[in-house]
């Protein structure tokens, strides 16, 4: 069985504590990649580190929300519809979808791609912070525009070809299968490569959760991976008393960092016969025929 895993660190640039953990894990090659947040307060430090690396494996974490009341940021473009009454990006994806002007969203997406370029970052792929561009809350999806931007740059995007039957979150979304089929056909038509599966897991604390139970659940996913290319994501961070006081479930981020530093995760990969890869594999091997994909999309519409 040919099974590959992309293990991505989201929220690169969110804070100094997140940066410390992510840079360490990338340097030690414990993870596949990370995705960087252009509007976030520690972006400059993260970008400077990326520029020093011969093989940074960093993508763009398109960021249109700012979810923690004690740790927030504004957009790059400053359009009022992208902000709440505090002057920061909206706290939730639902608030963003309801209030953001579509023209302003497209301009902000462009600005984040442009800042990554001007900062000298060799971006390998893109994804989206908090799923704000997927239209999950209100149906206002910006994926077509993101696919177009990624397609013209030759970048894969974190969308997925199939829903894993054991992914409780994705299977709980009404109409997800039909919406995914259309999104995949459009992405393929625009030349945007993607993994086969995305495996989600709660990044908030669940009732009674401990480090050991968290570790067991994540290791179990390794043995349950289907054939093909799967992606899962973590939000690792170093111990930080200030961030722990303002970010819910900060300790879980510290757990993720701890798990990746140890030998258990790498042993599970080897024991289960899973190869850790990055998005370069996706770009080089998983792009579909654009002509055939366009015909499939036409039949769906």
HSE toward the beta carbon, residue 247, CA cutoff 13 A: 25
pLDDT digits (tens, 9 = 90+) for 52-105: 999 999 999 999 999 999 999 999 999 999 999 999 999 999 999 999 999 999
128: domain CATH number? Answer: 3.20.20.370
Number of folded domains that form the chain: 1
Residue 295 has pLDDT above 90, yes or no: no
pLDDT (tens digit, 9 = 90+) per residue, 175-231?
778 888 889 999 999 999 999 999 988 888 888 999 999 999 999 999 999 999 999
Which of 178, 202, 181 shows the shortest CA–CA distance to 255?
A: 202
Contact call for residues 57 and 83 (beta carbons, < 8 A): no
Whole-structure pTM over 0.75, yes or no? yes
- Find the helix or strand (DSSP H, E) in which 62 lies: strand 58-62
Which run of H or of E encompasses 148?
helix 143-153
Q: How far apart are CA 216 and CA 95, in angstroms?
A: 35
* 114: Cβ contacts below 8 Å, ≥ 6 apart: none
Look up the domain containing 271 and give its range.
3-300
First to last CA, the chain: 35
State how far the Cα of 90 lies from the Cα of 84, in Å rounded to an integer.
Answer: 5
**Cβ contacts of 105 within 8 Å, gap of 6 or more:** 64, 82, 133, 142, 145
Rounded distance, CA 132 to CA 96, Å?
7
Nearest alpha-carbon partner for 240 in 11, 18, 9? 18
pLDDT digits 0-9 by tens, 260-289? 999 999 999 999 999 999 999 999 999 876
Q: Is 79 helix (H, G, I), strand (E, B) or coil?
A: coil
Whole-number pLDDT of residue 294: 63
């Amino acid at each position: 069985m040919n099974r590959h895993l992309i293990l991505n660190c989201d929220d690169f640039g969110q804070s100094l504590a997140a940066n410390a953990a992510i840079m360490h894990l990338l340097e030690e090659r414990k993870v596949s990649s990370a995705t960087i947040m252009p509007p976030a307060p520690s972006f400059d430090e993260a970008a400077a580190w990326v520029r020093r690396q011969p093989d940074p494996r960093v993508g763009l974490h398109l960021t249109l929300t700012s979810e923690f009341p004690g740790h927030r940021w504004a957009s790059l473009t400053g359009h009022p519809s992208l902000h709440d009454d505090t002057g920061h990006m909206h706290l939730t994806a639902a608030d963003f979808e309801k209030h953001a002007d579509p023209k302003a969203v497209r301009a902000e997406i462009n600005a984040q791609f442009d800042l990554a370029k001007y900062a000298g970052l060799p971006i390998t792929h893109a994804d989206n912070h908090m799923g704000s561009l997927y239209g999950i809350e209100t149906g206002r999806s910006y994926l077509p525009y993101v696919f177009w931007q990624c397609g013209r740059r030759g970048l894969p995007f974190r969308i997925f070809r199939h829903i894993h039957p054991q992914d409780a979150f994705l299977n709980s979304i009404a109409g997800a299968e039909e919406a995914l089929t259309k999104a995949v056909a459009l992405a393929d038509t625009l030349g945007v490569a993607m993994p086969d599966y995305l495996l989600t897991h709660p990044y908030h604390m669940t009732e009674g959760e401990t480090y050991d139970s968290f570790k067991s659940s994540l290791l179990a996913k390794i043995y349950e991976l289907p054939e093909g290319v799967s992606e899962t994501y973590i939000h690792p961070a170093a111990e930080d008393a200030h961030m722990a006081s303002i970010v819910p479930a900060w300790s879980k981020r510290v757990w993720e960092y701890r798990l990746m530093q140890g030998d258990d995760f790498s042993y599970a990969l080897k024991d289960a016969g899973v190869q850790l890869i990055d998005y370069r594999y996706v770009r080089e091997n998983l792009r579909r025929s654009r002509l055939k994909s366009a015909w499939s999309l036409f039949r769906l519409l």
